[in-house]
Structure 1
């Protein structure tokens, strides 16, 4: 399957809930600015996501295969670049 590149905006937040960590293996989430819902879990080998925690940003990356695991659940982005403020 070809990797699908995506760009998304929101606020990066740390999520420490055991269920979130178990499902995604990362504490980072991209949260919708208006509703506060998690849009995507985030991981990165190239960006230090902790530096952006609490900030509104736009991220680019690739969807992680197998997510969302059920309809309405968050997707998962392997971030290659934080491109600036959302």
Structure 2
């Protein structure tokens, strides 16, 4: 039975309904935990707050999409996903 590293990524935006998180699966026979996490490239962004000041933050990019945060969830087998 195949096993996968599971990473949850939070989408950018205030209200994405049920699309707030996306889950990604990386086969353990190809990716180590560190390699799976490294697929999400850290990028520096800025946001303009209501006080008219810009504030930096770290976001993550994967496959052309930007995510606010990522979390490693562990290993799951194919029956669990």
TM-score class normalised by the smaller sequence: under 0.3
What is the TM-score of this pair, normalised by structure 1? 0.26
Larger strand proportion of the pair: 2
Which one has more relative contact order, counting CA pairs under 8 Å at least 6 apart? 2
Larger Rg computed on CA atoms: 2
